[in-house]
Structure 1
Amino acid sequence: MTDDSLRSVTVERISTGHFVATNARGGRIAFGSAGDPQDGTAFTPVELLLAALGGCSAVDVDLATGRHAEPDRFTVAVTGHKTDDDLGNRLTGLQVAFHVTFPDGAGADRARAILPRAVKASHDRLCTVSRTVEAGTPVATTVTTTAEDA
């Protein structure tokens, strides 16, 4: 693996159940538990996962179709069912549904024609997020302590 392949975020606790993730470019997104102490609208980690699934494919599909025409509507609905079974808490039945419309015109006709192929290519090989979820990539966790913690 090269340094160019590394992707990372840092998650920092702000208060009970409230966190901020920061990327290497300084972008920040707040999230928390369902009982978020702020105004209750913050995304939960599960909702962020759903957004990542839809967002990854949305970027791929938008880049492919947007070369031909600007969409009138471009919405991606992502759903899954939270399940607690012998495997623990997880999402099942994940679905990513594209709702895209284009105006009239030759460019829009081309965009409409390639839309299904772009969605399939994103799912089958381009979207890192859904490819990682479907591959079942293991997640390693560690705990680092400092002298102050001892």
Structure 2
Amino acid sequence: MTDPTHDSLRSVSLARVGPGAFRITNAAGGTLDVGVSDTDFSPVELLLAALAGCAAINVEELTGRRAEPTRFEVVAEGDKVRDETGGRMENLRLLFDTVFPEGEGGDKARESLPRFLQQTHDRICTVSRTVGLGSDVAYVLAD
């Protein structure tokens, strides 16, 4: 387990706000609701959102140095399966739908995009790398 005083520690807290309803709060005070209602994000949707968000932030930063996109959308999807080993997600995919303007900057962004997607997958995106490498999760009771 990592030292909680180390600068690399990241955390969020989750508190119950009602039956099947929880609020996640980050260190900066931002909040996001998760739960079982039709309008709340489910935990699986948050996993997909984290994958899409991490990749999009990195790819947008890299392509944005060449041209401002006119469209930048990412769909994260996968198959939820349940078998003798339990529930999990398989076949995780991120579909990037990006459009860049005509001209030299847009051409450079389009040309660089496959390389930036590969770099994001291989070494930049902490979320997808953590999922892909399979980091263990400890469940610990508070004192």
Alignment TM-score, normalising by the size of structure 2: 0.94
Unpaired runs of 5+ in structure 2?
none
Unpaired runs of 5+ in structure 1?
146-150
Q: 2:15 maps to what in 1?
A: 12
Q: 1:102 maps to what in 2?
A: 100
One-letter amino acid matched to 1:122: T
SS of 2:140's equivalent in the other structure is: coil
Provide, for residues 48-71 of structure 1, a one-character-per-residue CA deviation record: whole Å limited to 9, x for no partner.
000000110001100000011111
Runs (4+) of structure 1 moved beyond 4 Å?
A: none
One-letter amino acid matched to 2:86: G
Q: CA deviation at 1:99?
A: 0.8
SS of 2:142's equivalent in the other structure is: coil
Q: 2:86 maps to what in 1?
A: 88
Residue 124 of structure 2 is aligned to residue 126 of structure 1: yes
One-letter amino acid matched to 2:73: T
Q: 1:148 maps to what in 2?
A: none
Provide, for residues 30-61 of structure 1, a one-character-per-residue CA deviation record: whole Å limited to 9, x for no partner.
1112xx1xxx2111010000000011000110
Greater C-alpha radius of gyration: 1
Q: CA deviation at 1:3?
A: 2.1
Q: Distance in 2 between matches of 1:144 and 1:6?
A: 18
One-letter amino acid matched to 1:142: V
One-letter amino acid matched to 1:28: T
Q: Distance in 2 between matches of 1:53 and 1:122?
A: 11
Provide, for residues 9-35 of structure 1, a one-character-per-residue CA deviation record: whole Å limited to 9, x for no partner.
0001000110110011111101112xx
SS of 2:101's equivalent in the other structure is: coil
Q: 1:53 maps to what in 2?
A: 51
Residue 29 of structure 2 is aligned to residue 26 of structure 1: yes
